[in-house]
Structure 1
Amino acid sequence: MAAPRGSVFTKNDYAYVELRDRILTGVLPAGSVLPQGRLAQEIGVSTTPLREAVRRLAAEGLIMLEAHRDARVAEVTAAEARHLYEVRASVDPLAASLAASRRTDEDLEQLHRAEADLRPLGGNATLDALIAHREFHRSIYRASGNPLLVDILERLWDKADRYRMVALETRRDSEEDSRRVAKEHRQIAAAVENGDADAAAQAMRVHIDKSLGRRAIAALEAGDSRA
Structure 2
Amino acid sequence: MPVPPPILTKNAYAYEELRRRILTGEIKEGSVLSQSKLAQEIGVSTTPLREALRRLAAEGLVELKSHSDARVAALTADEARDLYLIRENLDPLAAGLAAESRTPSDIDDIQAALAQLVPLRDASDLAAMTAHRDFHRAIYTASHNPLLTGILEGLWDKADRYRQVGLRGQEESEKDRLRVQEEHHQIAEAVISGDAARARDIMHRHIVGSLGRRAITVLSTD
Scaled by the length of structure 2, what TM-score is found?
0.93
Q: Distance in 1 between matches of 2:53 and 2:189?
A: 39
**1:81/1:217 contact within 8 Å kept:** yes
Q: Distance in 1 between matches of 2:198 and 2:11?
A: 41
AA partner of residue 111 (structure 2) = H
Say if 2:159 is the partner of 1:160: yes
Counterpart secondary structure, 1:130: helix
Say if 2:21 is the partner of 1:15: no
| CA drift at 1:140 | 0.3
| CA drift at 1:123 | 5.4
1:125 and 1:38, CA in 2 relative to 1: closer, same or farther beyond 3 A?
closer
**1:95/1:141 contact within 8 Å kept:** yes
Counterpart secondary structure, 1:61: coil
The residue aligned with 1:141 is: 140
AA partner of residue 35 (structure 1) = S
**1:23/1:73 contact within 8 Å kept:** yes
| CA drift at 1:67 | 3.4
| CA drift at 1:9 | 3.5
Flag structure 1 segments of 5+ consecutive residues without an equivalent: 1-5
Aligned-residue Cα RMSD (Å) equals: 1.7
Matches within 5 A, 1:39-58: 39-58=38-57
**2:123/2:168 contact within 8 Å kept:** no
The residue aligned with 1:182 is: 181
Q: Distance in 2 between matches of 1:16 and 1:125?
A: 18
Q: Distance in 1 between matches of 2:151 and 2:12?
A: 20
**1:110/1:139 contact within 8 Å kept:** yes
1:212 and 1:144, CA in 2 relative to 1: closer, same or farther beyond 3 A?
same
Give the paired residue count: 217
| CA drift at 1:68 | 6.2
| CA drift at 1:175 | 1.1
Task: Provide the identity percentage.
Answer: 60
**2:25/2:124 contact within 8 Å kept:** no
Say if 2:106 is the partner of 1:107: yes
Counterpart secondary structure, 1:160: helix
Scaled by the length of structure 1, what TM-score is found?
0.91
**2:24/2:123 contact within 8 Å kept:** no
Matches within 5 A, 1:194-209: 194-209=193-208
| CA drift at 1:69 | 6.2
Flag structure 2 segments of 5+ consecutive residues without an equivalent: none
**2:123/2:167 contact within 8 Å kept:** no
Deviations 1:41-71 (A, max 9, x none): 2222221111111001111111111236610
The residue aligned with 2:127 is: 128
